[in-house]
Structure 1
Amino acid sequence: MSKFNFKKTPINLLLAIFILFSFPNNASAFIITEDPIEVSGTVTTSDGVAAPGITVVLKNTNLGTVTDLDGAYSLEVPEENSILRFSSVGYKTQEIAVGNRTIINVVMEEDLVGLDEVLVVGYGTTKRSDLTGSVSRVSPEEVNAFPTSNVLQALSGRSAGVQIIQNNGAPGGTINVRIRGTNSIQGGNDPLYVIDGFPFSGNPTNLNNADIASIEVLKDASATAIYGSRGANGVVLITTKKGRAGQSTVEFESNYGVQSLRNKLDLMNGSEYATLQNLQAENDGQAPYFTPEQIQGFGQGFDWQDLIFQSAPIRTTSLNFTGGNDKTTYAIGGSHLGQEGIIRGSDYNRYSLKFNISHTVNSKMKLEMSNILTRLKTDRRDSGGGTRGSSMIGAAISAAPISRPFNEDGSYTVLANEYPFMAPDIINPLNFINEQTNTVRANVILSNAAFVYNPIPELTIRISGGIENRDDRTDNYQTRNFFNSPGVASVSTSQFTSLLSENTINYNKTFADRHQLDALIGFTYQDFTTTFLAANGVGFLSDSFGSSNLGAAETPGIPSSGYAKSVLLSYLGRVNYSFDNKLLLTASFRADGSSRYSPGNKWGFFPSGAIAWRISEEGFLRDNSALSDLKLRASWGKTGNQAISPYATLNRLFPGNTVFGNELFTTLSPSTTLPGNLRWETTEQYNFGLDFGLLNNRVFLTADYYIKNTTDLLNTVTLPSSSGFTTTIQNVGEVQNKGLELGVDAAVLNGNFKWNINGNITFNRNKVIALNNGESILGAFVNVLVVADNISILQEGRPIGQFWGFQEDGYNEQGRIQFRDLDGDGVITENDKTFIGDPNPDFFYGLNSNMSFKNFDLNIFFQGAYGNDIFNISAIPSTMDYGQGLNMPREVLLDNWSPQNPNAKYPIISRTNSVRISDRFVEDGSYLRLRNIQLAYNFPIQNCGWRAVSQAQLYVSGQNLLTFTKYSWWDPEVNSRGADTQAGIDHYSYPVPKVLTVGVKLGF
């Protein structure tokens, strides 16, 4: 008989290890009874209705099935001592011994708050009742409640402590998520997203809502510390749908929606505009521009808002297949989202393919694989910001209603030449719509595979690896027909790759029926590599090539390229201990080593601990139906933030050019930024929680109070020019967030008419504790021609990003704005600036109502925020830049200063007005929004005898149909410059649309 030659090839060694692991140590584990017992039965709900989709598993094995449409199941078990486990989301898990029975019928008890529901946590799962930390779950029904271009939009208002900040309403627009406030000044504040166990980079725009099985949000340090240096901002765990053993299923969903502008700005019509221009001329001692006959003849004029805004469709289609047997399960899904923008020329398309498979090799070995492939394409003409000369939105607001988009010969009207008072930077919006393109194409691959080995039932060894890869290409082209353009093209590409290796060992065992121990240790490696390439050109003889032939440019630009790589090496461990289901303890530790930090500071250590007491399991409360569940929780831990770029601590050389004599030479010189000796930003968090259920858990309430202190804040610090450098990065400050989270789930009515309500509200207070030498840091800067200045500030003792400027103090005798002289020196200087607003809300909230009667379902979902301010940059030129020929809101004409109206809202209409950053432009951003309302009809398939169809639902829904707010502009959900130090700014933001949708869901 031949033997393995281990020296000859490593393949033989691997094969030998595979064979060794394939056979259990205990040979009796392979002994199958000659006559296995076939157990069958029917599973129903408490009201006698068949319960399809209930998981039936032979305990401590991977053998199982699911109930069919009639609630029936059948499963072979090896012996009478076998135990069957019946489970499903929304029902209490039951374990039933087989004994000598062959027919076992089960009645599932509804678990109104899902205490037995299994939640995903870092590197594992746990029952809701066993949680010691602060974790919230968003169900797949909530995630897929209405069509969104970004799965994160579905989190808005769903979870206490989680604030969703929609930067703008553009198709595929960016979303910021803030969990328990803002921690960092210079570093990122978005949470870590983990998709099917893979720590993902950036926003999970590659996901389709219909593919999501659950989203868990880890909020306190005891839950997030297992992710160490990336857990300071919270962790969002996203799990996609997996296959289940038993009957194969097919899920199909398609919907079609129509988007529209929520409300138009009330701008002046043609006659009103001409009247305002004459008023400006009169106040400035000039002759009027228009005669009364001309003013009357202008009438309503042209509405430029109607030109750029449109009703636009949004479509989603998804198809998912799941199924499998006791050996192999699978889930395959494909989807398409197509969204045209309510601003002409903007659209977004996402194509995705998902494939999950799990294969049980034998009783000890299992293989798993998850793959998500996504193609993204974004066409955008304008997403906000800029000046009226660089923004289509700004151009449309500013364009005169007495002008038209086309000349008689069909050419574009040159608005700057229409009248002598017109600003030279006013551009016809059609230039942006028809004569420029901005297209981004991206391919995203997320692939993860795992080998799971159970040498004994209590021990699980998991070896996994994965890759995230993203390739982006951006093409910009401005044609020669664009105002004053010779033809401008640019192309940029970037490639991002992350390789992951995670290896964990988990031990889970119950001792003496009262002590349960769950221990985890692991080692992980992840690297991040980015490359980019960019080129451009100016001056083209023809627009035919677009950005596809940069070599045809008269003036080619200098190409640029780059490379960056960083590595994160980690060791982790966690212990969960439960005593008699009453006392719960959790302790975790993670050590992260990052290549980004300075020698001696490359390793960060992140411990955590938590304790919970389930008082309701004590004898004096165990059978109390009024107070059916009561748990106290407390936790502490430290997490970190990798808040610097890969090479921030290194001395780097940068290329440049210099002239010697008559020749140009290439140079390499140090950066103007001095590398710092940097430490990790560290967030220490305390959390105190209370969970209690009333009336047999028909009402369940959760409360959490937290305190987060972030130290060693990284920020740019100015250096004296004598040092040879201008700036450096240092650990300079401390920020604190503390707050209260409240959540409630209530089954108000049961029976034929069911009514469930869940809601949450969050109060968070943010404060800068310390900055470098106590010096304040100026934040967001604005330049809109009539004024250029900072509008926000960071200062000790104040919240991050408060607005900073002058306070107005009425008008002088000439109708000009006066400002308060706060320092009393008789002149208005920088020393008279003060805090004029706060973008941080006092609280934000969500309220969801689900009602069902017979075959009808009605969902109503409200979401809102209160107490936050918005700095309306758009209003500076649009209400104060007189004499430039800009259109303005109607109220500027109706309520401006005159001797007869000295307390007017607006000053005298004159070119000579002086504009400063002031509280005039700060508005109340509070709002209450009907985020979604949906009426659905579930066809009675079972009564029709259509056994091939398990579900058929038709629904109509509306998103953002009602918004209650005092904000004067398009929409209060704005954040033009992202969150944090520049939060709450509206600068020609792309409005959030309202949507009417009709859709169908089918199951087979």
Structure 2
Amino acid sequence: MRINLLVSMWFLLLMLNPLFSSGVSAFQTEITGKVTTANEQSAPGITVVVKNTNIGTVTDIDGEYTIDVPGENSVLRFSSVGYKTKEIVVGSQTIINVIMEEDLIGLEEVLVTGYGTTKRSDLTGSVSRVNQEEVNAFPTSNVLQALSGRSAGVQIIQNNGAPGGTINVRVRGTNSIQGGNNPLYVIDGFPFSGNPSNLNNADIASIEVLKDASATAIYGSRGANGVVLITTKRGSPGQSRVEFESNYGVQSLRKKLDLMNGSEYAQLQNLQAENDGQNPYFTPGQVQGFGTGFDWQDLIFQSAPIRTTSLNFTGGNDKTTYAIGGSHLGQEGIVQGSDYNRYSLKFNLNHTVNSKMRLEMSNILTRLKTDRRDSGGGTRGSSMIGAAISAAPISRPYNEDGSYTVLPNEYPFIAPDIINPLNFINEQTNTIKANVILSNAAFVYNPIPELTIRISGGIENRDDRTDNYQTRNFFNSPGIASVSTSQFTSLLSENTINYNKTFAERHQLDALIGFTYQDFTTTFLAANGVGFLSDSFGTGNLGAAETPGIPSSGYAKSVLLSYLGRLNYSFDNKLLLTASFRADGSSRYSEGDKWGFFPSGAIAWRVSEEGFLQDNENLSDLKLRASWGKTGNQAISPYATLNRLFPGNTIFGNELYTTLSPSTVFPGNLKWETTEQINFGVDLGLFNNRLFLTADYYIKNTTDLLNTVTLPSSSGFTTTIQNVGEVQNKGLELGVDAAVLNGAFKWNVNGNITFNRNEVIALNNGESILGSNINVLIVSDNVNILQEGRPIGQFWGFVEDGYNEQGQIRFMDLDGDGEITENDKTFIGDPNPDFFYGLNSNMSFRNFDLNIFFQGAYGNDIFNISAIPSTMDYGQGLNMPREVLYDNWTPQNPNAKYPVISRSNTVRISDRFVEDGSYLRLRNIQLGYNFPVQNWGWEFIRQAQLYVSGQNLLTFTKYSWWDPEVNSRGADTQAGIDHYSYPIPKVLTVGVKLGF
């Protein structure tokens, strides 16, 4: 009903267009001029607009411009990143020349905020920006990777290095247990669902991260984890531009695990047999004859290309501007059988109907295709990576007849679940195809210059299909096929009114009110089959299966209706006030608790604008900020509060009947998770803003945490969801921007560091919550725990206490009862870093640019599940790290790293497998050469750059496995786990950027 009403309003306004147009003044004056820099160089690309209108242009290559203004009272606004904004009243002038002053730190830079924009100098909240040069600094398969180390308070967790692999983003820590902890992503004003993997880096104009509640509360129930605003490039009036970029990179494994060769492996098997009272498996001659053996890591890992190509057209005139772009990213994985392709088209359009009315449109179409044989995790029998680590180096991948070697048949001591990795590479497929459409449009009407009415609507649609097939040549497989499809659609309607007015030259008021409607619909369908006469069908004919599976399907829908308002007030550019409010009503919650209310307020004092500091030569800017606010989290599924019935089957007599029965989960009476946050900040500019410092201290308390609670069996239910907990995050963020040198040799440095402390304040009845069980055959137990007074997801297990007289592991009896029981478990590690940081250096001299970017984390632990079977499962014929052979317990080596090599060892989840995950990484180094095309007289080309770069070339870490950036389980309650994870590659890249 509401959507129909909005559509009707839209068409009504369009029909009234002649009435709006009739009020436009016929007076027009042509203004021309030239814009230069302080050193008298022409300034191309400067935006020139008539203030409070959509009339604008940009300066050409010579810094010249022409623009028509509606009257003598018009104000021309000259702006560009890196320069201070200038405003000039036209009056009787027809030629206006302007000298732009450098703004080294960008205080005049306009940032995107929720439902609006503001100058950096006018911010009251905590907002950080990553500009388009940083976003597109190096090739990535996900635009979120470009945020790593760029913004204080923002932690990027790359769960694995697989092409198209998932990424978690944490803004100021982890808030929720049951719900998600990723921020809300807003693309060109559209609140996007999930991860923005549909975007191409070259299409991004900027990324703003809203961190404190003053900035995020305008998004209400979805702002608790921060908000990431992604703005794609749009056209500007003036000369049309073409931008082309192409690069090619070669990915490779950062390091190999130092596993045993053939002779060493045979020695270890003999040692195990000897320690267990058995005869040696191999003679001394055989041991020596195995030599280096076969390297299974070389079989599955490869050097792999990554390619990106993008082409963008932008331009327009005073009436219409456009941005059209297309791109392709193709990434083959360093693990054989994995690759990722993304094809995207973008079309943005702005059209000015008249001085009061304009239309805006944004469209992004994306095709994603992922092929992946293995992304890590699983057991050695279900993981290619696990199989490659475990396979005996004295075996070969092929038999003499060309068939695959069945590894357990090679020797009697090899475990039956060890599968030849060739099975995963050649005999199974896992393909995911997705089509993503994001389209929105807006009608903007200015009845008077100070008032803006905006009516917008959009759609997000995603169709996914996953095809899995395991051939009959796969070890012990009869042919297994499965297909699943899912469709997600979200419709959005947003309607706002904004009033912006300056009174008496000292009072500036910016007020916003609006309401929004968004719905979310998901459907899925899945089917499978086992047993095929031929592999030629693949997943194309599930009906040909000997045993067809039972198909499944599903449907879910939820709706969110919101009212919002915000007021910004500035007095004499010194005192800045912000207040916002949002009310969200969600269909997901219980009757009486469907509405959540999220207020916020902020105040800032620009001390540097006071008279007693204006003449200070060293202090160029000083602003003190404070804010408070509440935000929410929709942490439950659409029907969690409803008493649902589920189908099943039962037998009466000799007949099978279909049934409907209640779930074993009791529907909870639920309300919103609410995060209350306070923030104190200071911005300090020194030496004409050549040095700019930012510091923020925050405290976030998330209450009414939703979590699963166990019920007594007498209730007829097993669990329910309740509001039972509280989590606190508090921390300090520090950022620095420095223009070290600004002459012929330019050098800019920026860095940030974040300290965050997470603590579980309260849980249901104070009871601890264990993470999901992990099973690696010799051990099946929990690793993570949530406990009051501790950070989320700490590691939980036993503490080792050396070895007994037989060389077996001894565990500490912490409760002193003389036995090793569950009561002897304790905290053995913490996956949460003490701090994380980034440091970026940009240098330029003449035509050369050099960028060096470091990123890292300190104080976090990793629980290496991979090391449990790979270093402790003796007697199963597994290959192991070389040090196991040379540093195991003997009477002569009682303090060895590893116990006696024997099947009799008892292995538990213990501190043995906890490692320091701290690292410092050279994330990117790039050398570029800018060809002096302006001196060649080539009018058709503006820019030509050739560059070479390297990503992840150096990593300093104590972590013993492939890579310290790892999070196999991808969950906050099970963070910091490495379980056969797909390694992150290092990359060498060469590329070219052209501008026409």
Give the equivalent residue in structure 1 for 2:14: 18
Give the equivalent residue in structure 1 for 2:433: 441
Q: Answer whether contact 1:633 1:690 (CA < 8 A) is retained.
A: yes
Q: Secondary structure at the match of 2:969?
A: coil
Q: Answer whether contact 1:211 1:240 (CA < 8 A) is retained.
A: yes
Q: Answer whether contact 1:805 1:917 (CA < 8 A) is retained.
A: yes
With over 3 angstroms needed to count, the CA separation of the structure-2 counterparts of 1:79 and 1:728, relative to structure 1, is closer
Structure 2 Cα separation of the partners of residues 79 and 720 of structure 1? 77
Give the equivalent residue in structure 2 for 1:853: 845
Structure 2 Cα separation of the partners of residues 742 and 979 of structure 1? 27
Question: Equivalent residues in 2 for 1:898-909 (5 A)?
Answer: 898-909=890-901
Give the equivalent residue in structure 1 for 2:289: 297
**Aligned residue type for 1:991:** P
The Cα offsets for residues 310-343 of structure 1, whole Å up to 9 and x where unpaired, read as 0000000000000011100000000000000000
Give the equivalent residue in structure 2 for 1:673: 665
Give the equivalent residue in structure 2 for 1:135: 127
- Aligned residue among 15, 20, 30 for 2:24: 30
- Aligned residue among 353, 363, 371 for 1:371: 363
Question: Equivalent residues in 2 for 1:496-511 (5 A)?
Answer: 496-511=488-503
Q: Secondary structure at the match of 1:620?
A: helix
Give the equivalent residue in structure 2 for 1:5: none
Structure 1 Cα separation of the partners of residues 246 and 108 of structure 2? 33
Question: Equivalent residues in 2 for 1:148-297 (5 A)?
Answer: 148-297=140-289
Q: Is residue 982 from structure 1 mapped to residue 978 from structure 2 by the alignment?
A: no
Q: Answer whether contact 1:22 1:365 (CA < 8 A) is retained.
A: no
Q: Answer whether contact 1:21 1:455 (CA < 8 A) is retained.
A: no
Give the equivalent residue in structure 2 for 1:794: 786
Structure 2 Cα separation of the partners of residues 737 and 190 of structure 1? 15
Q: Answer whether contact 1:22 1:362 (CA < 8 A) is retained.
A: no
The Cα offsets for residues 126-158 of structure 1, whole Å up to 9 and x where unpaired, read as 111110000000000000000000000000000
- Aligned residue among 749, 752, 755 for 2:741: 749
Query: 1:78 Cα shift?
Result: 4.0
Q: Secondary structure at the match of 1:426?
A: coil
The Cα offsets for residues 884-927 of structure 1, whole Å up to 9 and x where unpaired, read as 00000000001000001000000000011110000000000000
Structure 2 Cα separation of the partners of residues 981 and 432 of structure 1? 30
Question: Equivalent residues in 2 for 1:465-864 (5 A)?
Answer: 465-864=457-856
Q: Answer whether contact 1:688 1:706 (CA < 8 A) is retained.
A: yes
Give the equivalent residue in structure 1 for 2:58: 66
Query: 1:46 Cα shift?
Result: 1.9
- Aligned residue among 936, 943, 962 for 2:935: 943
Give the equivalent residue in structure 1 for 2:112: 120
Structure 2 Cα separation of the partners of residues 238 and 254 of structure 1? 22
Unaligned runs of 5+ in 2: none
- TM-score, structure 2 normalization: 0.99
Q: Is residue 321 from structure 1 mapped to residue 313 from structure 2 by the alignment?
A: yes
Structure 2 Cα separation of the partners of residues 260 and 199 of structure 1? 36
Structure 2 Cα separation of the partners of residues 84 and 876 of structure 1? 68
Q: Secondary structure at the match of 1:454?
A: strand
The Cα offsets for residues 251-298 of structure 1, whole Å up to 9 and x where unpaired, read as 000000000000000000000000000000000000000000000000
Query: 1:76 Cα shift?
Result: 2.8
The Cα offsets for residues 383-403 of structure 1, whole Å up to 9 and x where unpaired, read as 010000000000000000000
Structure 2 Cα separation of the partners of residues 174 and 712 of structure 1? 28
Structure 1 Cα separation of the partners of residues 733 and 63 of structure 2? 39
Q: Is residue 970 from structure 1 mapped to residue 962 from structure 2 by the alignment?
A: yes
Structure 2 Cα separation of the partners of residues 215 and 44 of structure 1? 29
Q: Secondary structure at the match of 2:734?
A: strand
Q: Answer whether contact 2:668 2:721 (CA < 8 A) is retained.
A: yes
**Aligned residue type for 2:19:** F
Q: Secondary structure at the match of 1:498?
A: strand
Structure 2 Cα separation of the partners of residues 203 and 19 of structure 1? 39
Query: 1:44 Cα shift?
Result: 1.7
Query: 1:79 Cα shift?
Result: 3.9
Query: 1:22 Cα shift?
Result: 4.2
Query: 1:876 Cα shift?
Result: 0.1
Q: Answer whether contact 2:52 2:450 (CA < 8 A) is retained.
A: no
Structure 2 Cα separation of the partners of residues 978 and 933 of structure 1? 28
Query: 1:48 Cα shift?
Result: 2.4
With over 3 angstroms needed to count, the CA separation of the structure-2 counterparts of 1:434 and 1:688, relative to structure 1, is same
Structure 2 Cα separation of the partners of residues 579 and 54 of structure 1? 29
Q: Answer whether contact 1:340 1:347 (CA < 8 A) is retained.
A: yes
Structure 1 Cα separation of the partners of residues 575 and 7 of structure 2? 49
Q: Secondary structure at the match of 1:243?
A: coil
Query: 1:660 Cα shift?
Result: 1.6
Structure 1 Cα separation of the partners of residues 649 and 112 of structure 2? 55
With over 3 angstroms needed to count, the CA separation of the structure-2 counterparts of 1:937 and 1:14, relative to structure 1, is closer
Q: Answer whether contact 1:22 1:364 (CA < 8 A) is retained.
A: no
**Aligned residue type for 1:367:** L
**Aligned residue type for 1:732:** V
**Aligned residue type for 1:23:** L
**Aligned residue type for 1:115:** L
Query: 1:824 Cα shift?
Result: 0.7
Percent identity over the alignment? 88
Query: 1:98 Cα shift?
Result: 2.9
Give the equivalent residue in structure 1 for 2:346: 354
Query: 1:623 Cα shift?
Result: 2.7
Q: Answer whether contact 1:957 1:996 (CA < 8 A) is retained.
A: yes
Give the equivalent residue in structure 2 for 1:6: none
Query: 1:77 Cα shift?
Result: 2.9
**Aligned residue type for 1:803:** F
Query: 1:665 Cα shift?
Result: 1.5
Structure 2 Cα separation of the partners of residues 618 and 22 of structure 1? 49
Unaligned runs of 5+ in 1: 1-8
Structure 2 Cα separation of the partners of residues 787 and 594 of structure 1? 43
Q: Answer whether contact 1:260 1:993 (CA < 8 A) is retained.
A: yes
- Aligned residue among 947, 953, 956 for 1:961: 953
Q: Which segment drifts farther, 971-980 or 9-18?
A: 9-18
**Aligned residue type for 1:554:** E
Structure 2 Cα separation of the partners of residues 705 and 64 of structure 1? 40
Structure 1 Cα separation of the partners of residues 131 and 57 of structure 2? 23
**Aligned residue type for 1:18:** L
Structure 1 Cα separation of the partners of residues 29 and 492 of structure 2? 44
With over 3 angstroms needed to count, the CA separation of the structure-2 counterparts of 1:82 and 1:521, relative to structure 1, is closer
Q: Answer whether contact 2:25 2:70 (CA < 8 A) is retained.
A: no
Q: Secondary structure at the match of 1:30?
A: coil
Structure 2 Cα separation of the partners of residues 80 and 840 of structure 1? 60
**Aligned residue type for 2:343:** Y
Query: 1:10 Cα shift?
Result: 14
